[in-house]
Homo-oligomer: A and B are copies of this chain.
Amino acid sequence: MNAPAKLPALPTVSDVEDAARQLRGVAIRTPLLESQFLNERLGGRLLIKAEPLQVSGSFKFRGAYNRISRLNAEERKRGIVAFSSGNHAQACAWASRITGTPAVIVMPSDAPKIKISNTRAYGAEVVLYDRHKEDREAIGRRYSDERGMTLVPPFNDPYIISGQGTIGLEIAAQCAERDIKPDAVLAPASGGGLISGISLAIKDRLPGTDVYCAEPDQFDDIDLSLKAGKIVDHAGKGTTFCDALMAPHPGDITFGVMSRNLKGAVSATDAEVEIAMATAFNYFKLVVEPGGAAALASVLNGKVPCANRTVVVVCSGGNVDSSLYSAIIARTPPV
């Protein structure tokens, strides 16, 4: 057996509680939605944590603000740089705007138009790159080296993870208010920042509740990593329209947290994600983007059973181009 590589310091529930204090009055306590009518159809109880209603249209604002608002005066003056396919971009742009921090955001040129235009409209300098030819991390490093900007990573950072984890604290509190003990909590995963943070809160507040992440079919790097006991890339052969969920592998911090706290990683095909989006439209009147619907899809396709159980699903964002959304809603019936 080889000696293990140096392990990163992992965030704890105290860091998540600290993030909740930092976000008070800034982030929205999103509602936990329920449709009794859908519950009847599923034969169980499904609760939706509605993060499309969050500032910037996705959960990403929580982590971005928790990181950017901690910069000291000198760091704030030099600004931040972030790379993201879109939701982290918008979140960093808006968190920078309201904290008076200059921001450069490195985005793939094929990101959804709504995400690029919102990031610009929020006041950030957007640098586009070709996802197939250029290395976004190298571009990001250039700005951090040349301009002294602080790099705000999309997921592998204790402040980012802790910020996203405030969703878990809210889920636990909202369940307690209604006297609910969920059997399982699920959220979509790309690099695992969201579900890592949530798992810290849930394992503290609801230790008997299973925590899962949901990935797009073929972009199953967390599933493969958890099964291998080490960080591995997804097979990467396929494609997915879940633009927010295409990270090649988890980070060492998110992997460290997930391998302790997750019961497993499930997945959904694009077709199943479309049905989940149509279901959120029909029963919850909530606009959910493809990547934001992966966990809901994984419950509707039975990967995590809901019958005779109570399951909480995070719908993580709603930043979808109107052309794609309207096409999906027009052609896809809900469950």
Task: Give the interface of A toward B (CB within 8 A).
Answer: 28, 30-31, 33, 36-37, 50, 52-53, 55, 57, 94, 98, 114, 118, 121-122, 278, 281-282, 284-288, 318, 322-323, 325-327, 329-330
A319 CB to closest chain B CB, in angstroms? 8
Contact B286–A285 (Cβ < 8 Å):
yes
Q: Known contacts A114-B282, A285-B57; is A37 also within 8 Å of B330 by CB? A: no
**Cα A118 to Cα B28 with chains together (Å):** 31
* B53 touching A282, Cβ below 8 Å: no
| Docked CA distance A323–B284 (Å) | 17
Residues of B within 8 A of A55 (CB): 36
Give the chain B neighbours of A286 by CB distance below 8 A.
53, 285-287
What are the residues of chain B within 8 A of A323 when measuring CB–CB? 330
Partner of A52, one of B37, B114, B285, B329: B285
Q: What are 27 A-B pairs with beta-carbon distances under 8 A?
A: A28-B31, A28-B33, A30-B31, A31-B31, A33-B53, A36-B94, A36-B98, A37-B118, A37-B122, A52-B285, A53-B285, A53-B286, A57-B285, A278-B322, A281-B322, A281-B325, A285-B286, A285-B287, A285-B288, A285-B318, A286-B287, A287-B287, A322-B330, A325-B326, A326-B329, A326-B330, A327-B330
Smallest beta-carbon distance A233→chain B, Å: 32
Q: Closest CB-CB distance, A188 to chain B, in whole Å?
A: 15
CA distance A280 to B326 in the complex (A): 14
- Name the residue of chain B whose CB is nearest to the CB of A315: B285
A51 and B52 alpha carbons, distance in the complex (Å): 16
A94 contacts which chain B residues (CB < 8 A)? 36-37
Q: Given the complex, which residues of B lie within 8 Å of A329, measured CB to CB?
A: 322, 325-326, 329
Complex CA distance for A323 and B329, rounded to whole angstroms: 8
**A281 x B287 contact (CB < 8 A):** yes
User: How far apart are A330's CB and chain B's nearest CB, in angstroms?
Assistant: 4
Interfacial chain B residues near A282, Cβ < 8 Å: 114, 322
With contacts A28-B31, A57-B285, A278-B322 known, what are 13 further pairs, Cβ within 8 A? Answer: A31-B31, A33-B53, A37-B94, A37-B118, A37-B121, A37-B122, A281-B287, A281-B322, A282-B322, A285-B288, A285-B318, A323-B330, A326-B329
